[in-house]
Chain A
Amino acid sequence: MLFWKELKKIIFGVPYFLFVVMLVFVLRSQDVLDFSNSKITKPEPNGNYGTKNEEIPEIIMPAALQSLYAEFQENNYKTYPIGFIKNVKLNDNEQMEIAKMISTITGVDVDKIYTNSSHNNEDMTLDIKGNADIQPDGKGGFIISTQNNSEEKNEQDQQINLTVRDDISYSEFKNLMQKVDDILGGGSAYAPESLISYGVVSLTYEEAVQRYELIKSHDKMTGGYARLFSDYTVAMALSILPVFLAVTMSIKDKRSKISELIYTKKISGIKIIFVRFFATITAVMLPVIILSYLSNITVWSMYKEMKLDYLMPLKYDFGWIMPSAMIVIAIGMCLTELTNTPIAVAVNGLWWFLDINMGMKSVTASYSLFRLVPRHNADIHSYFRIQDFIDNFSNLLVNRLLFVGLSILLVIVTILIYEAKRKGKLNGNNKIREVFTSITNRKSQS
């Protein structure tokens, strides 16, 4: 059968070998193949249950104000428009605008605030430079912590007392912060949807118990582990590596000069392309399914008395992981069929790079519509984030269905390209190459 032949062709190739090695290696290095040290226990009273972010104006407003004032003083604002840090330096007019905003919030005179800023004092910014510390957080993002000594400076440099006015409402505050974010060009922590990051509160015992019950009833204890496994599998492997398999497979006919031979055979383009598509998916998912069970099995013995869901890994394999693999394979097949070059590696690589570096700006962004890599990762808290998952489940569902649909659409486009090439109608390769060579020729002649 054609399917098995195509599957064999993939599985016995060097790229597949590298794929499996990389998959195992990465998952091992992220410690998601063995969860036996990560038991979820029932919370005891008077413990520390971690923190959570909540939209509590009384906490958010002062914290945000303090941070804004510190950045204002240094005239060095950190924003993350795409995922990477962007240091924004404002001109005098814009600084004045920020000063007005701070004045509105605090009731302190604008001039007083403005003269205390470092718009004419470059040394202060230089002080901070060199103290910033960027550490990879091990999950595809970077933690950038600035050793902030602005509090000391506040005390030394000025005596003005900044507190949020009592009569300012949270919605007014949010509006002002939106303006700040606009001046900064977006992507700052002051954007209303990001303000919640200032609302850090400790979890109470009751909340911790509630959370535990939810894990028991909804996650059947196994779900959290499956989610963390899925998070890393997609982020570090399945959102990029399958493209190599797809490109290799699609380019092989041309390289071994048998594409024309196959063109003249009876088989329809629909069949050959779909069979190859499913063969690649099968090859990709096979080790993933095996590893997901090897990983999940390590927790089963920890919860002997409880009702577990033994199909949990499978649900996540197909529901969470596979759509990413599908879209990546479809891109690889489509672009390779179109151009006969491995350009899909670059295209998919760039998408992966951008997506992965968006990191986990917020829980909602982790599941947003076009995320190639849905994120659900908060180190040891990952297992406890069932409420976030439930809240965003419909987003995830739409995102995953979208990618399944898109990948099938791309496969259909691939079939159309294949059939057109078969009839000699489209020689995309030549056209693209010719355009390109004519450009380079022109360049070298001038």
Chain B
Amino acid sequence: MNHSIEIKNLNKFYGKKQVLFNINLSIEQGMFGLLGRNGAGKTTLMKTLATLLPKKDGSITIYDIPIENEKEIRNIIGYLPQEFSMYPSMNILESMDYLAILAGLKKQEKKERIEMLLKKVNLMEHKNKKVKALSGGMKRRLGIAQALLNNPKVLIVDEPTAGLDPEERIRFRNLLSEISQDRIVMLSTHIVGDIEATCENIAILNDGKVLYHGTVNNLLAAADGKVFTKIVSRQELSKLKNELFITSMHTQGKNVYIRFIAENEVSGMNMCEPNIEDAYMLYLKENGTKLLPLSMEEMGGENECYFGRN
């Protein structure tokens, strides 16, 4: 059996507007990251894989099962949408129970599995809480638990860390890594840090097209020798912003520490190891994506870099 997701020549339209262009991907076991800006088509691709959206043409097989075979596909996948909620009157346990019924679990199996999963995601003591009363982190954990009910071979998780605090985010990544031992975990994100911490294989999606598909290392290698750092004053920065392709910056008193990508030398700069953020930005740039220069306000924390400016 082929333990992979094979996507061949996938096209998808919303009405007349094409949103996915000729997607070809082969996804093996382990963590797979789908990186892209907001509106790149990540959610559409994931929903298509989760049988929630029909495909226009091309073919998708998951573990050799064609996607048209919805029932069997749903049997082997777990899906956690970006935004989800449950019937307002249900608490955690009732939600899990109902979703387990829908997942086709038998009575005994269901009970054991729910208990095991709720323990795993640390929600056992909150099992009587209403879903809408949960904090962002708890809700995500419930989401993961429900997606694992049928012990899926493929777990599809859309923007799992959006809205989580840094601590919750790290805990969540670890949980996903743990889960990915013997299955495919496909996660989409626009937060580069998520990918860096967990994924070996990634794809970059931009405007409905796959820009990159391969390992993180290869992506990094492409940026080798092109990433530099420099400390500049604020006055200098406003001038340099238009000349250099800055990938991140941090204020240090009156000065600003910047990382940027350059082909030619700039006086006073130091070459450095590229990180995945640099590599990603470079990749977008080299593939003709228009990126607006960053402003101070737009910079996030160390591991968090949002790409969403069009």
Contacts and interface: CB of A to CB of B under 8 A. Distances in A.
Direct contact of A and B (CB under 8 A): yes
Interface string A411-446: 000000000000000000000010001001000000
B89 interface: yes
B92 to A, nearest CB: 15
A436 to B, nearest CB: 8
A433 B133 CA distance: 14
Interface string B67-91: 0000000000000000000001100
A437 B133 CA distance: 15
Nearest to B89: A437
B93 to A, nearest CB: 12
Interface string B210-247: 00000000000000000000000000000000000000
A437 B132 CA distance: 14
Interface in A228-245: none
Nearest to A440: B89
Interface in B88-109: 88-89
Contacts of A437: 89
Contacts of A440: 89
A433 B88 CA distance: 9
B124 to A, nearest CB: 21
Contacts of A433: 88-89
Interface in B42-63: none
B120 to A, nearest CB: 27
A440 B88 CA distance: 13
Nearest to A441: B89
A440 B89 CA distance: 10
A107 B88 CA distance: 72
B167 to A, nearest CB: 26
A222 to B, nearest CB: 52
Interface string A397-418: 0000000000000000000000
Contacts of B88: 433
A440 B90 CA distance: 12
A46 B89 CA distance: 74
A433 B89 CA distance: 8
Contacts of B89: 433, 437, 440
A392 to B, nearest CB: 49
B81 to A, nearest CB: 16
Nearest to A436: B89
B117 to A, nearest CB: 24
A437 B130 CA distance: 11
Interface string A232-273: 000000000000000000000000000000000000000000
Nearest to B132: A430
A437 B91 CA distance: 11
Nearest to A429: B88
Interface in A317-350: none
Interface in B108-159: none
A437 B94 CA distance: 13
Nearest to A433: B88
Nearest to B94: A441
A433 B130 CA distance: 12
A429 to B, nearest CB: 9
A433 to B, nearest CB: 7
Interface string B244-267: 000000000000000000000000
A322 B154 CA distance: 61
A83 B11 CA distance: 64
Interface in A145-179: none
A365 B89 CA distance: 45
A199 B192 CA distance: 91
A437 B131 CA distance: 14
Interface in B147-200: none
A437 B88 CA distance: 10
Interface string A346-383: 00000000000000000000000000000000000000
A445 B37 CA distance: 48
A446 B10 CA distance: 53
Nearest to A437: B89
A259 to B, nearest CB: 15
B211 to A, nearest CB: 33
A437 B89 CA distance: 6
A17 to B, nearest CB: 23
A347 B166 CA distance: 49
A13 B89 CA distance: 30
* A-B residue pairs, 4 tightest by C-beta: A437-B89, A433-B88, A433-B89, A440-B89
Interface of B: 88-89
4 contacts: A433-B88, A433-B89, A437-B89, A440-B89
